[in-house]
Every structure is written in C-alpha cells, then in structure tokens.
C-alpha cells in the first residue's frame, strides 16, 4: 500500500481500546494523485478531516483528497454532527474543578505554577512565547487521567484535536510524580532531540521526542494538566495543549523549519 502524502498535522494521540475502539469503520481514502490509505474517520469540518491510522490521528485537507474521498468525508462529517435533544446528557465534568476517582482535585495554585513555569523555561530557551494555563484543557486532561488510572494503562486518547502528553510513575508521592512527568517530557527528551540534530516531525530520528517538541511548539499557546492516583498507588499524568503541535515536516521553533 502506497503512503498517502498530503498536507497533514500529526496529533500525538494513540488508540484507546477501552474508550473508543470500534466506533468507526476502516475506510479507503485516496488523494488527488491516486495514492490510497486505510483509515478510520474521527471528525472533520469544512476544510479538514481527521483520520486515525497506525495508532495516530492525522488531519488532511479536503482539497487534497479525491472527489470520491471528499464526498465520503462530508457524508461522515454530516452523520457525526451532534443533534439537539431535550434529553441530552449532562457534561461529564460540568464544574470548574473536576476531581479524580479518589477525590483529589485538579491542580492547585502551586502545581499550576510549577507546570507552567517548567513549560515556559523550556520555551524561552528556544525563543517561543510563554504558555498560559487553561482550565478547559485541564478538565479534558483530568477526564483522560481518570480513565488511565481506572484501567491502570498508560495510553494516549483518540478522537480530539488537542495535543497530549502522558506519563506514569509509581513509588513516589504526587508532587514527585508530577516532576517526573515534566522532566521526562522536557529535559530528558530535549537532550535526545538535540543530539539527533533537531529533526522535523516525521523524519528519521524524531520518534521518542514528541513530548518535548509539543512542550515547545511555537504556535501552542495554552496548556492544562491533571494527575490522578490509581488503586495500586501509581500516578497517571496527562497534559493537553492547544493549538496542538507536531506538524509533520516542520520543526517546533523558529529557525528550524526549513528542509535541510
């Protein structure tokens, strides 16, 4: 099967067996050049369709697809649009401060400060603007951290357009586990990324450094995080980012986006 080469954005989100598998059928998608892929439809709008394949979400421009695939995309987008209902379920977390299964709240002021400062320390090193904390993203992160803690599995979520970093740690307290997540995504992966010559997303040598590049992605402006303790004492941490980073073929910060 030929690789479909289009304008796309890589979203660092992997298949979630417990939550979303089986919700969509695998479809054949074709671009203007006749190249095809097999992928699941996730969501879309007037310009873009997000497809799931090989454990990741990819966003494709509709104009890059064949007429048949554009038609298929529009049909699936229309079919997936929410319908108004007087009996619509309430939001999973309608309050500003969602709680984990063990009753622990979202990040307090000190934890927020630590998370934001660590992100912005790394961002200032490469000359990109600071991130701001976002409660909506923190709520989304909490929802997924609860799922990971309940299932006791470290897996990425599927089917949303936010960037995502995840981490697992055991044998330490909550504060130390948050630090482990931030340092693992940041300083540890930064060393690897620099040693590989700062490759673009999708290039050889990029695998294993996507957490760091999401943290410092130039166009990302907001972050929210959550950490939840599971029954076995492990801590699962999730960070969500908007706009998402890690665009295929690009590098995360200024001066590193030209092909070499």
Q: What is the pLDDT of residue 151?
A: 94
Q: What is the pLDDT of residue 89?
A: 47
> Got the DSSP string for 3-65?
----SEEEE-----TTTTTTSS-EEEEEBTTS-EEEEEEEEE-SSEEEEEETTEEEEEEGGGB
In the DSSP assignment, the letter for residue 185 is: I
Pick the CATH number of 26-80 from 2.30.30.700, 3.40.50.970, 3.30.590.20, 3.40.50.150: 2.30.30.700
Upper half-sphere CA count for residue 238 (Cβ side, 13 Å): 29
In the DSSP assignment, the letter for residue 134 is: -
Per-residue pLDDT of the chain (260 residues; tens, 9 = 90+): 333 333 333 344 332 323 233 346 899 999 887 888 888 888 888 877 788 776 666 767 788 889 999 999 899 988 877 665 555 444 444 344 445 444 455 899 999 999 999 999 999 999 999 999 999 999 999 999 999 999 999 999 987 889 999 999 999 999 999 999 999 999 999 999 999 999 999 888 788 899 999 999 999 999 999 999 999 999 999 999 999 999 889 999 987 544 43
Residue spans of the domains in the chain: they are 26-80, 109-242
Token readout for 160 is: 């949303």
CATH topology of domain 109-242: Pathogenesis-related Protein p14a (3.40.33)
CB 198 within 8 A of CB 189: no
- Residue-wise pLDDT for 110-158, tens only, equals 999 999 999 999 999 999 999 999 999 999 999 999 999 999 999 999 8
Q: What is the pLDDT of residue 230?
A: 94
């Amino acid at each position: 099967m030929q690789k479909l080469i289009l304008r796309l954005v890589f979203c660092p989100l992997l298949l979630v067996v417990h939550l979303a598998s089986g919700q969509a059928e695998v479809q054949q998608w074709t671009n203007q050049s006749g190249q095809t892929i097999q992928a699941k439809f996730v969501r879309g709008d007037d310009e873009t369709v997000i497809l799931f394949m090989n454990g990741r979400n990819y966003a494709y421009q509709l104009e890059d697809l064949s007429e048949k695939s554009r038609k298929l995309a529009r049909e699936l987008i229309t079919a997936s649009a929410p319908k108004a209902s007087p009996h619509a379920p309430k939001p999973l977390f309608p309050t500003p401060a969602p709680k984990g299964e063990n009753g622990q709240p979202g990040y307090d002021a000190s934890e927020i400060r630590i998370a934001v400062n660590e992100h912005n320390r790394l961002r200032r090193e490469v000359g990109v603007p600071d991130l701001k904390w976002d409660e909506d993203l923190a709520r989304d992160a909490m929802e997924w951290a609860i799922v990971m803690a309940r299932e006791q599995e470290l897996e990425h979520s599927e089917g949303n357009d936010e960037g995502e970093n995840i981490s697992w740690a055991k044998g330490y307290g909550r504060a130390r586990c948050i630090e482990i997540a931030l340092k693992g995504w940041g300083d540890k992966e930064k060393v690897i990324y620099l040693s590989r010559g700062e490759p673009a997303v999708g290039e050889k040598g990029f695998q294993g450094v996507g957490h760091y590049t999401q943290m410092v992605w130039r166009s990302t402006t907001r972050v929210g995080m959550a950490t939840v303790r599971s029954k076995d004492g492990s801590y699962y941490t999730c960070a969500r980012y908007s706009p998402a980073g890690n665009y295929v073929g690009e590098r995360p910060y200024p001066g590193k986006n030209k092909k070499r």
